[in-house]
Amino acid sequence: MPVNLFHSYLRRWNDFSGISIEQQPFLDWIDEGVIIHQHRLESVKVAAGKRGSVTGFTGVMSCGLSKAALANSEFTQLFYALARLSPYCGTGHKTTFGLGQTRLDWVKPEINLPTQVLTNLLGERIDELTTLFTAQRKRTGGDRTDKIASTWATILARREMGESLQVISQDLEMPYATVKTYVKLARRALKDNVNQ
């Protein structure tokens, strides 16, 4: 939704530019005057951050202004200024984890299937293992059970994909010995599940 995109960009503009713009009139103008010309979007589950995966989208979109919207020259200038600011803001959530990369040019689709397949498989495997480890816990419910299951799942899935325990330890900012213990416990829990 263009109004969501520009709300995020305008919030950052107001925080850092020193030229504060009243949000609601501009966002109403965006809602009425921005037209999506074309788009190619796809939902994808990716490994993100330190613990697990997140579902987001990849793709491209282009938008412009209606003739009626162009009549407001002040908002038109702000629209293009915010569009030029967008690569520095990122779009969506978890931008600090590398998601939400934003570019101003139309991007041709990359054929990078092996990497995308591996990313999708990792996310799916983490979800599968998290569900399994959560079900095995004697005390269910609560944040601790979910956190333990998710941590074990993330470590084991990444190890199964060939990552070293040292890299996983550094990425998760956990002591190497703890990661080593968790992967052993996760493997044992997985083996116990198979034997049942």
CA dist., res. 5 & res. 7, Å (int): 6
Q: Angle 23-33/73-89 helices, nearest 10 degrees?
A: 90
* pLDDT tens for each residue of 102-122: 877 766 655 554 555 555 677
Q: Which carries the bigger pLDDT value, residue 117 or residue 136? A: 136
| Partners of 41 in beta bridges | 59
User: Is pLDDT above 80 for 98?
Assistant: no
Q: Which carries the bigger pLDDT value, residue 15 or residue 54? A: 15
- Topology of domain 113-191 in CATH is Arc Repressor Mutant, subunit A (1.10.10)
- Topology of domain 2-97 in CATH is Alpha-Beta Plaits (3.30.70)
Q: How far is CA 74 from the centre of its chain?
A: 33
* pLDDT tens for each residue of 139-148: 666 678 788 8
Confidence of residue 51 (pLDDT cuts 50, 70, 90): low
The separation between the first and the last C-alpha atoms of the chain, rounded to the nearest angstrom, is 48
Residue spans per domain, the chain: 2-97, 113-191
Paired sense of beta strands 53-65 and 34-47, if any: antiparallel
Confidence of residue 50 (pLDDT cuts 50, 70, 90): low
